[in-house]
Structure 1
């Protein structure tokens, strides 16, 4: 399974979640939804990151998300790496909107350049080895801290980060139990990674209702 076709989020109310994602971020085929009441508490161990061109676009997307019902976890602010903010969707999924730019170079838009699924893992090296064994190629690697995989023409990139470091970056305690409430969908044989994240073969069952 060398690419991600979409990310499936398990949500309590598919209609409400579909409205949120189309209104807030303009997402369609990249994010699928399915009804689920699987128990989950605390940090679910992942975030979806939207990479954009400039700070005004970060602000525009965060404002749209808040207007659509999201809550703020970390207000947008400058950092060493650029400019970013974190919000939580009504279904509980955490979204980070970020840019490496620190100044605007044009008018504000809501254009998303890249979607990254960032998994918080217990052991970056072990998880990297596991995914290489599943056929994914490494695009960037920073030792035990961060790994990003090459996923070809996939609409969603995959990256790994230490779970505690990811939770801290999002402004959350790292503890959490129960379902991740996310599935990674693409072609190939289904499997589950060392941290319990499930990969599923793409099927019509993953589509929004």
Structure 2
């Protein structure tokens, strides 16, 4: 299994983006931000993904992202491969949040930084 320890994103406002990624996904050290003079909205040739252990975690992370200012591009839904959804962050990055599990393993969801069994960023 390959994992990425950090990702650097070009964003128009690094301070605002840091607030978003901390509030929405709990990613303080895994996301590095660099000021960009070029437009940073829309699809930029990559889609980062948060792969988590269960559907409740997908719902929790997407909900936190929406509360922090993201917009829904694809609502979280069950599919043949698992459960997931897609959001666009205020800085314009498109993120996928997904799990291969179809059924919750527990009743409660936890934020990303609080002991998820799978915490990894992958470039999709």
Q: TM-score, structure 2 length as denominator?
A: 0.86
* Displaced runs of 4 or more, over 4 A: none
Equivalent residue number for residue 121 of structure 2: 115
Contact 2:42–2:92 under 8 Å retained in 1: no
Equivalent residue number for residue 81 of structure 2: 81
SS in 2 for 1:15: helix
> Deviation digits for residues 73-93 of structure 1, max 9, x if unmatched?
000000110000000000001
Counterpart CA distance in 2 for 1:7 and 1:36 is 15
Measured on the aligned residues, the alpha-carbon RMSD in Å equals: 1.6
Equivalent residue number for residue 62 of structure 2: 62
> Deviation digits for residues 20-39 of structure 1, max 9, x if unmatched?
00000000221100111214
> How far did 1:41 drift?
6.4
- What is the aligned residue count? 116
Matches within 5 A, 1:70-149: 70-106=70-106, 107-111=108-112, 113=118, 114-118=120-124
Q: TM-score, structure 1 length as denominator?
A: 0.52
> How far did 1:14 drift?
0.8
Please say which structure displays the higher CA radius of gyration: 1
Q: Which runs of 5+ in 1 are unaligned?
A: 119-209
Counterpart CA distance in 1 for 2:45 and 2:32 is 19
